[in-house]
Amino acid sequence: MRLEGKVALITGSASGLKGELMGFGGAAAWMFVREGAKVVLSDISDDAGRKTVSQLVESGAEAIYLHLDVTSEEQWREAVDATVSAFGKLDILVNNAGTGATFNVEDTSEEVWDDQMAVHAKGTFLGTKHAIPHMRRAGGGSIINISSINGLIGSPTSAAYHAAKGAVRLFTKAAAVQYAGDRIRVNSVHPGYAMTPLTRNMFSDPEQLGVRIARVPMGRAAVADEIANAILYLASDESSFVTGSEVVVDGGVTAQ
Ligand SMILES: NC(=O)c1ccc[n+]([C@@H]2O[C@H](COP(=O)([O-])OP(=O)(O)OC[C@H]3O[C@@H](n4cnc5c(N)ncnc54)[C@H](O)[C@@H]3O)[C@@H](O)[C@H]2O)c1
């Protein structure tokens, strides 16, 4: 019971149905409840999110679903308030929601740029901003921001995604320094290539998958649980002296 008594809010966590391909947020939700947490799942994909929560509740978990578009400050206010109303406090926030955009610089429209910055950079900022007062009141907390290896290195595609995930990386360090005195830890996770609903189409193309796997010393893509394990470590008190750090889970891609 590594999260006994804790309350967690996870964004972008709709894809968590047992027997189907899970995303990091859905996989983390199952791990969190297994370890004793009460969990608020949130997403803009409401049908999938509600189905995931039904399965969690049927399995005996304490979990609720909230609609939360992470680009809306108003919806963040409502979601954090609803979390505290339902479960009394907020100890753990996982800023996980995300979308892809595989364009190089010249092919990136202003709209794509703004959208990437909104969901990753602004979404992470707004969530952190609205979680902090509640975590301070609870005596501390842990915020886990899902960046990417694409927040550490470049690639032939995804210019706006790289920029937005890089912003998540450094925002994490600023928040970690600013709120360490409140016992609020803020860390980023940098997954490598993983098979999830987000990447399923791209990775179903053997050529697209092959190009990426060729960059991985371990020679394969990750599964969602391998990323969720890192999220769980940062959420738990086992990481009590870890803040402002980058946990890379990439099979060795960025070691080269
Ligand atoms: N799969 C990979 O290879 C990989 C690698 C590195 C980083 N990531 C990052 O991991 C995170 C989780 O992705 P995943 O691969 O588990 O896929 P996923 O599809 O399970 O998760 C993304 C979720 O975000 C939700 N979402 C999109 N826009 C939103 C918004 N405005 N507000 C709220 N929710 C929104 C989607 O509906 C989806 O459920 C993302 O931030 C992604 O960029 C993924």
- Closest residue by Cα to atom 40, ligand 1, is 98
Q: How confident is the model at residue 68 (pLDDT cuts 50, 70, 90)?
A: very high
Mean pLDDT, range 195-212, rounded to an integer: 95
The vertex-45 CA angle with 42 and 50, nearest 5°, equals: 65
Enumerate the domain spans of the chain: 7-240
Q: Are 254 and 51 in contact (CB under 8 A)?
A: no
Does residue 151 line the site of ligand 1, with CB under 6 A? no
Q: Is 12 helix (H, G, I), strand (E, B) or coil?
A: coil
Query: Please, which pLDDT band fits residue 72 given cuts at 50, 70 and 90?
Result: very high
The predicted structure's pLDDT at residue 147: 99
Sorting pLDDT into bands at 50, 70 and 90, what band is 237? very high
* Three-state secondary structure call for residue 206: helix
Helices (H), the chain: 24-34, 46-58, 73-87, 110-116, 123-138, 159-179, 200-204, 206-213, 224-235
| Model pLDDT, residue 171 | 99
Q: How confident is the model at residue 2 (pLDDT cuts 50, 70, 90)?
A: very high
| pTM: predicted TM-score of the whole model, two decimal places | 0.99
Whose alpha carbon is nearest atom 27 of ligand 1? 98
Question: What three-state secondary structure class fits 142?
Answer: strand
Residue-by-residue DSSP string for 55-87: HHHHTT--EEEEE--TT-HHHHHHHHHHHHHHH
| Model pLDDT, residue 200 | 95
Mutate to test the pocket of ligand 1, among 24, 74, 152 (most ligand atoms within 8 A of CB): 24
The β-bridge partners of 63 are: 39
Nearest-CA residue for atom 16 of ligand 1: 23
Residue 115 CB coordination number (10 Å): 16
Instruction: Name, in order, each residue with C-beta under 8 angstroms of 59's C-beta and a sequence gap of 6 or more.
Output: 33
The whole-angstrom separation of Cα 248 and Cα 192 is 8
Give pLDDT tens digits for 18-54. 999 999 999 999 999 999 999 999 999 999 999 999 9
73-79, Cβ contacts within 8 angstroms, sequence gap of 24 or more: 73/126, 73/130, 76/126, 76/127, 76/129, 76/130, 77/130, 79/9, 79/40, 79/42
| Euclidean distance between CA atoms 114 and 194, whole angstroms | 25
119 lines ligand 1 (CB under 6 A): yes
CATH superfamily for domain 7-240 = NAD(P)-binding Rossmann-like Domain (3.40.50.720)
| Radius of gyration over every alpha carbon of the chain, rounded to an integer in angstroms | 17
